Structure 1
Amino acid sequence: MKNQSIDVKKEVLAGLTSFFAISYVIIVNSMILAEAGIPPQLSVFGTIIISVLGCLIMGLFGNVPIVITTGMGVNSFFTYTLVYSLKMSWQEALAASFCASLIYLVVAFTPLSQILIEAVPESLKHAITAGIGIFLVMVGLENGGIIVRGEHTFMELNSFQSPILLLTLASLILTLFLLFKNIQGSFFIGIIVTTLGANLFNLVPRTDSLFSLSAIKDYPTIVGKLDFSHIMTTEFILGTFSLAMILIFESMGLFNGLLPKMTDQEFKKAYRLNGIIMLFSSLLGTSPTIPAAESSTGIQQGGKTGKTAITVGLLFIVAFFAIPLLTYIPSSALAPVIIITGCLMMQNMQHIEMGDLSEWFPAFLMIVLMAFSMSISDGLAFGFVSYPIVKIFVGQTKQISKPMWLISFFFLCYLIAKVWI
């Protein structure tokens, strides 16, 4: 009984850590969708509701410590590709998201999902985990104000006169100290201490919240507003296909990257549940859901079961009534957790056969492009497209399975589609 209570405590602490690491999505997702024309003070409720449903369903029925919420790369595709580039209304973009989710479900509930995952070479599987890791490191470095856009380069080290940088470094040192001392809940403690210090001493400026719970009475005005009137147009078909490709393979990569020891049965269940949740996101007036890379922060804190995801889901419910309070948590408090987690995930590079350049180069390309394009899906595309090309050059085409050829072809289509859109 004592061991069981300790496990539950670990799961709850892991859930707290994951929630705080991903809580920024509540505000940021709404602001990105605002550029597509969806009122942010309304879409924030869709973001929270689908996150609650996603985490509770994944925890109760999938029994894995994975946070399901709106994807931060996917929402950019929704706004800047479907709406800006393809000239869809936000209602049409929601319809395209719904159709892309249906395609995802076809893959998830047929043998296609297992065929696709078994076709992926081990080097690329480890590269996916490492790539997500370096992606998180870049996010943490940027959000923590350690790196900024340079005057003559695309990034440079921030000035040490920046209070955000100094607070992030102090928080990083504290979190590392707690971690190396094996103190349970080290990530969560680091977040709380940094948040308290930043607000008590007014170390970083805090912006006023634009969101209020009273706006929920108008939320039904964006629910179920899917417009299928242009479903047969080239733009709608191209946008739907491209989004489906991102959702299918990014979710597949994230599940395997976050939980590489997941059994085939566990993967199938989690992958299918994610598709069902994804379908409802469009109906609720928000962009599609994927497994959050930040789930790894809770996993590193000891989260092993669905209790972690359930904890996150319950905290998203609390967030309904505390949306303005989230602005008190500085990015400097979250950045160290994300950076350290990314570092731990990058350890998977040791399992890649670097002595074989035909295995290492596609993996390398996937890893670095996830980071420097700031897009997991773009990194996946370059890794999968380059793999068969390199194998052709070294005369090892027999190592490439038919499904792998198909995956590479689909990703090539995805990259070509980016040229057109």
Structure 2
Amino acid sequence: MKNFFQFTERNTSFKQETLAGITTFLSVAYILVVNPLILSQAGMDRGAVFTATALTAIVGTVLIGLLANYPIAIAPSMGLNSFFTFSVCIGMGIEWQVALTGVFIAGVIFMILSLMKIREKIINAIPEALKHAIAAGIGFFIAFIGLKNAGIVVGNPDTFVTIGELTSPKVALAVIGLIITIFMMVRGINGAIFYGMVIMTIIGMIVGLISIPSSIIGTIPSLEPTFGVVFMNLQDIFTPEVLAVIFTFLFVAFFDTAGALIALTSQAGIMKNNEIPKIGRALLADSSAGAIGAVLGTSTPATSVESSAGIAVGGRTGFTSVIIALCFAIALFFSPILSVITTEVTAPALIIVGALMAMDIKNIDWSKIEIVIPAFLTIIMMPLTSSVAMGLAFGFILYPFVLIAQKRYKEIHPIMYALCLLFILYFIFIA
């Protein structure tokens, strides 16, 4: 086992990988509650979606762990499940069965692109400066999500965001958890993020902010309402509306996953010389999870940026992913206790991990204006638009533009020209 996952080469251990896997699971487990809640608003059976969510996460996470040896979780994307429900099903009036078929087709196309190594070539063609900007931008994005989930920052009609009500009990719990976790981290305590979540949960139960589960073991809901419905609606995808939906799923998921993989492999020390080893296998695992997830009955999965929490604890190999998948399997039987993993519990982990990922900003050459402009906008647009893909869009459009302005067009990889044009067309399309 140690040889297969290269424990010695990556300076890790069973204990470290196990702790990292549990930490990542606790950070991403909310998807088991939130994904069914969101997709049920499109008319899908909530119980079936719960089971499909867990099984999709198990399959995708095991695949990326065994095939690519990455300490990463794959689970249904929060952004894409909202797009599926509110834009496609409710906004466009497309039945969820047809929309799910679109997700399946997008997953199959992803698999083909991965097998042809097209996705791998695109990721390797991204300039090193933009890769560091992507990693840092996702750090800011994750921290913003954590601050929002904690209630430390809230919406404001005049300034868009503002400070939250810090005296609110749940916000105070998150703030206390953040302080405790930071204290343990600066003291050099291994697993500080994980221990911080455990301590917060216990405190929350004691003061009554987190409900104590009335039961521990629950029955696994049936997949029957959603399983295999994609094969019954293949004839309905050949309409302009559904084809546009498929394109959007492809486009956003492609670059969300690309950005997340770049950031997470950089954080884990896997990316070397601006290239990511076994990236093709990781992309195949991700795309396979997309097709399988649609068959089971959930919207598009993606590489979970919350994996950064486990990496921060010390996850370095695919054994972390195996532990994550095992936790998802156990969660199928112990669904009642998932209620204790609230957004307030996971918020401090996301804030701290975001800070750690933002450290990649130091690798960008801030003395060169042609690097600063696309890198800065890549970083800042991710949290401001709540989209990794949008951050990439600004960077990929501006990077070729500034180099062309300096008559350095020969330094630009042809793929970057293609991506620049593609994102321009995408903006025109969504407009």
Quick check: TM above 0.5?
yes
AA in 2 matched with 1:295? S
Out of 141, 152, 177, which is 2:158 matched to?
152
Indicate whether 1:223 and 2:227 are aligned. yes
AA in 2 matched with 1:216? P
Aligned partner of 1:188 in structure 2 is 194
Q: CA deviation at 1:212?
A: 9.4
| Equivalent residues of 2:201, 2:345 under 8 A apart | yes
| Equivalent residues of 1:126, 1:348 under 8 A apart | yes
Closer/same/farther in 2, CA of residues 6 and 414 from structure 1, 3 Å limit: closer
| Equivalent residues of 2:177, 2:200 under 8 A apart | yes
1:373-404 CA distances to partner (integer Å, 9 max, x unpaired)?
11112222222122223333333322222111
Q: CA deviation at 1:265?
A: 4.0
Mean Cα deviation higher: 245-254 or 120-129: 245-254
Aligned partner of 2:75 in structure 1 is 69
Out of 33, 36, 40, which is 1:34 matched to?
40
Mean Cα deviation higher: 120-129 or 84-93: 84-93
Indicate whether 1:311 and 2:317 are aligned. no
Closer/same/farther in 2, CA of residues 258 and 388 from structure 1, 3 Å limit: same
Aligned partner of 1:320 in structure 2 is 332
Aligned partner of 2:424 in structure 1 is 412
Three-state SS of the structure 1 residue aligned to 2:352 is helix
Q: CA deviation at 1:70?
A: 0.7
Aligned partner of 2:125 in structure 1 is 119
1:189-232 CA distances to partner (integer Å, 9 max, x unpaired)?
11011100111121x265999x9944713x21211111223222
Aligned partner of 1:15 in structure 2 is 21
| Equivalent residues of 1:123, 1:360 under 8 A apart | no
Out of 283, 298, 301, which is 1:271 matched to?
283
CA distance in 2, matches of 1:113, 1:330: 35
Q: CA deviation at 1:39?
A: 2.2
Closer/same/farther in 2, CA of residues 207 and 243 from structure 1, 3 Å limit: farther
Aligned partner of 1:108 in structure 2 is 114
Closer/same/farther in 2, CA of residues 127 and 412 from structure 1, 3 Å limit: same
Closer/same/farther in 2, CA of residues 297 and 234 from structure 1, 3 Å limit: same
Mean Cα deviation higher: 169-178 or 226-235: 226-235
Q: CA deviation at 1:68?
A: 0.8
Q: Which runs of 5+ in 2 are unaligned?
A: none
Aligned partner of 1:339 in structure 2 is 351
AA in 2 matched with 1:17? T
Three-state SS of the structure 2 residue aligned to 1:251 is helix
1:154-180 CA distances to partner (integer Å, 9 max, x unpaired)?
211012321122111111111011111
Three-state SS of the structure 2 residue aligned to 1:156 is strand
1:126-173 CA distances to partner (integer Å, 9 max, x unpaired)?
111011111100110011111111253221101232112211111111
CA distance in 1, matches of 2:175, 2:140: 18
Aligned partner of 2:51 in structure 1 is 45
CA distance in 2, matches of 1:155, 1:132: 19
| Equivalent residues of 1:18, 1:297 under 8 A apart | yes
1:339-382 CA distances to partner (integer Å, 9 max, x unpaired)?
01011111111111222222111111111111011111222222
Indicate whether 1:391 and 2:403 are aligned. yes
CA distance in 1, matches of 2:117, 2:251: 17
CA distance in 2, matches of 1:412, 1:46: 35
Aligned partner of 1:163 in structure 2 is 169
Indicate whether 1:88 and 2:60 are aligned. no
Cα RMSD over matched residues?
A: 2.2
Q: CA deviation at 1:42?
A: 2.1
Q: CA deviation at 1:418?
A: 1.9
CA distance in 2, matches of 1:389, 1:208: 56
Mean Cα deviation higher: 403-412 or 299-308: 403-412
CA distance in 2, matches of 1:387, 1:229: 41
AA in 2 matched with 1:267? I
Aligned partner of 2:85 in structure 1 is 79
Out of 242, 247, 253, which is 2:253 matched to?
247
Aligned partner of 1:199 in structure 2 is 205
CA distance in 2, matches of 1:414, 1:274: 23
Closer/same/farther in 2, CA of residues 395 and 81 from structure 1, 3 Å limit: farther
1:235-267 CA distances to partner (integer Å, 9 max, x unpaired)?
121111121112222212211210023364421
1:301-342 CA distances to partner (integer Å, 9 max, x unpaired)?
111111111111111111112222111233222111110101
Indicate whether 1:174 and 2:186 are aligned. no
Indicate whether 1:238 and 2:250 are aligned. no
Out of 265, 280, 300, which is 1:288 matched to?
300
Q: CA deviation at 1:44?
A: 1.0
Three-state SS of the structure 2 residue aligned to 1:149 is strand
CA distance in 1, matches of 2:96, 2:157: 35
CA distance in 2, matches of 1:44, 1:370: 29
1:68-115 CA distances to partner (integer Å, 9 max, x unpaired)?
111111212222332234332111111111111122122211142232
Three-state SS of the structure 1 residue aligned to 2:309 is helix
| Equivalent residues of 1:238, 1:417 under 8 A apart | no
Q: CA deviation at 1:282?
A: 0.5
AA in 2 matched with 1:274? D
Aligned length: 415
Q: Which runs of 5+ in 1 are unaligned?
A: none
CA distance in 1, matches of 2:204, 2:376: 38
| Equivalent residues of 2:227, 2:296 under 8 A apart | yes
CA distance in 2, matches of 1:35, 1:212: 26
